[in-house]
Chain A
Amino acid sequence: MTANKRVYNLFITWIIVFSIIPFVLILILSFFDGHGRFTVDNYIKVFDPLYLKLILSSVVNATIITVACSVLIIPLTYLITLQRKSSLWLTLFLIPTWVNLLLKVYAFLGILGSDGIINQIITSFGGQPVDFLFDIKGFIIVTVYIYMPFMMLPLYNTIIKIPKNVIKAAKDLGASETQVFFKVVLPLCKNAIASGVTLVFIPSLSIFMISRLVTGNKVMTLGTAIEQQFLVTGDWNLGSAIAIVLIAIMLIFNFVVQGSSNWQIRRREYEK
């Protein structure tokens, strides 16, 4: 089977050169200083109070964003699956994900601005104008808006496959609509929630253009910090160390999220 081998070799070479070496380079860079000497100083710097605070606030913000998206999107997706033309509804909710992210962020510069429509509404009711831009509020609103539809697809694909008689059985036994949602639907889509949450959490941790455009870098994410080290300060070694920390947080997050959903499956098998 020589042709098989050749296809395999070509593909594995492509992967090694373009998917493995670049990340190994980042790992190596993170252990050197500007003069090419081996050092762990970059990591000591990443864990000093200044950067530790940045990492913590970035994780906290990403958590708030992820929770907000889940609370909005999980019930909404369930409602969509109940509709007769559910796939049409799904398409309608997914179309905005095709619009370029920067244009959506730009729209919010107008909407949330000091004389934008939201503040016009607030002041017309006699309220004080709110500073959404250059503030954490703006960052969270815009990020939730942009990433929330991404959560919908895995959830939809799972909920739509739940057999109708499972839900009917629950109702026959006297469950209310809310009980059906919390006790039947939610437990059955644990895995989908896990992947949906990942689709929101990781980008909100690493996104840099939203905080740059909306908050003028007043709100920093891990992504903003990396971008700044590479393109503004020019300290690639420190930037690489932050990138490695970002990857580490991602892996821990995946481990926890996937672990908890797998645990559920394992327990269910055990109970059989």
Chain B
Amino acid sequence: MKSKITLSLAFVFLYAPLVYLMVFSFNSADSMSSFESFTLEHYGNLFNNTGLLQIVANSIVVGILSAILAVIFGTLGAVAIYQLKNPKKNYQLRQLNNIMILAPDVVIGVAFLSLFTMFGIKLGLISVVLTHAVFCTPIIVIMLLPRLEQIEVSQIKAALDLGAKAKDIVRIILIPNIEDAMIISFFTSIFYSFDDFGVTFFVTGNGFVTLPIEIYSQARRGINLELNALSTIMFLIILFAVIVHQIWISRGGRNA
């Protein structure tokens, strides 16, 4: 019983800042310190803010394009590691894949800024999409590999006995077995892209803005309750996604 109280207290402390943020999105006074009266004004402003809607659209486009690239190269990577039988080389390739996961955001950001400048790639949509694809790819590799390793070896042996070639194995056995994981990793990739600030900040250039970049520049100017309204909406979307995910997991458990 004591442990339940401790956990509940921790839970309250963890959520208090988020609740605080959301409560003040309904505040008619322009401050986050005293609550005057209830209003939906900030939500109205948010939906009439065409600049912001454009920025959300930018983020969605970047998320989808980079996720397509990341799923392609993530699948290639997972298949490459899966088929590499030499243990030493296999280990090395896994380590190379980990570089982007271990490297701090700032270092990835400045490294890509240097790369794009050196090769004369203009900062904007393309540089952001490429960068996001690069840091999402290793995550997808790690998501897909365990699924590939679950495939029964006898399936592959049977196909080889029936005369299948290496590329048939990939197309007929490997990919169909991991299709659902590829779809999940596609959405995971979109989320990481949509959420990223630390790397994106260095490669957006002047004209192109994604949502986290916009949140940052707004927050630097101080309290703005439109940001609170935006937080509430984003939190509700996340909550919805978590619930859908939980239901999906419990159903999957029953089928398996």
Chain A residues in 8 Å Cβ range of B115: 18, 21-22, 25
- Residues of A within 8 Å of B, CB-based: how many? 74
- Please pick, from A15, A95, A212, the residue contacting B97 in the complex, using a CB distance under 8 A: A15
| Per-position 1/0 for B152-169, Cβ under 8 A of A | 000000000000011100
Write out the residue numbers on chain A whose beta carbons fall within 8 Å of the beta carbon of B11. 92-93
Is A116 within 8 A of B17, CB to CB? no
Q: Which residues of A contact B230 (CB under 8 A)?
A: 103
A109 within 8 A of B: yes
Let me know if B84 is at the binding interface, CB within 8 A. yes
CB within 8 Å for A117 and B216 given contacts A15-B97, A22-B112, A247-B107: no
**Is B114 interfacial (CB-CB < 8 Å)?**
yes
For window 51-102 of B, CB contacts with A under 8 Å fall at 73, 76-77, 79-80, 83-84, 93, 96-97, 99-100, 102
The residue on B at minimum CB distance from A16 is: B96
Q: Total number of A-B contacts with CB less than 8 angstroms? A: 209
Chain B residue at minimum C-beta to C-beta distance from A149 = B14
In contact, A25 and B111 (Cβ under 8 angstroms): yes
Produce 1/0 per residue, B123-158, CB < 8 A to A.
000000010001001000000000000000000000
**Distance (whole angstroms) from the CB of A269 to the closest CB of chain B:** 20
B21 to chain A, nearest CB (A): 4
Q: Would A15 and B112 be within 8 Å (CB), given that A99-B235, A107-B17, A110-B21 are in contact?
A: no
Q: Is the CB of A19 within 8 A of B227?
A: no
Proximity bits, B1-45, A CB within 8 Å = 1, else 0: 001101100110011011011001000000111100000000000
Chain A residues with CB below 8 A from B215, complex form: 100, 102-103, 106
Residue of B nearest to A244 (CB): B107
Does chain B have a CB within 8 A of A138? no
Q: Is B251 engaged at the interface, CB distance under 8 Å to the other chain?
A: no
Q: Assuming the A-B contacts A3-B167, A8-B84, are A96 and B7 also in contact, with contact meaning beta carbons closer than 8 angstroms in the complex?
A: no
Q: Quote the shortest CB–CB distance from A151 to chain B (angstroms).
A: 13
Contact residues in B for A111 (Cβ distance below 8 Å): 17, 20, 32
Chain A residues near B167: list those with CB within 8 A.
Answer: 2-3
Q: Confirm or deny: B186 has a beta carbon within 8 angstroms of a beta carbon on chain A.
A: no
Give the chain B neighbours of A71 by CB distance below 8 A.
none
B:208-232 near A, CB below 8 Å? 212, 215-216, 219-220, 222-223, 227, 230-231
A243 adjacent to B223 (CB under 8 Å): no
- For this complex, into which size category does the number of interface residues on chain B fall? 35 or more
Q: Does B104 contact A (CB under 8 A)?
A: yes
Q: Mark B173-210, 1 if CB is under 8 A from A, else 0.
A: 00000000000000000010001011001100000000
**Subset of 17 A-B contacts with CB under 8 Å:** A22-B108, A23-B103, A26-B111, A83-B4, A95-B238, A95-B239, A98-B242, A106-B215, A108-B17, A117-B33, A202-B102, A203-B105, A206-B106, A213-B219, A222-B106, A236-B114, A240-B114
Q: In the complex, given contacts A96-B14, A109-B32, A149-B14, what are 20 additional A-B residue pairs having Cβ atoms less than 8 angstroms apart? A: A1-B166, A4-B166, A11-B77, A11-B93, A12-B93, A12-B96, A18-B130, A20-B96, A21-B115, A93-B14, A95-B239, A98-B191, A98-B242, A100-B212, A100-B234, A107-B20, A113-B32, A117-B33, A226-B107, A243-B111
A-contacting residues of B (Cβ < 8 Å)? 3-4, 6-7, 10-11, 14-15, 17-18, 20-21, 24, 31-34, 73, 76-77, 79-80, 83-84, 93, 96-97, 99-100, 102-108, 110-115, 118, 130, 134, 137, 165-167, 170, 191, 195, 197-198, 201-202, 212, 215-216, 219-220, 222-223, 227, 230-231, 234-235, 238-239, 241-242, 246
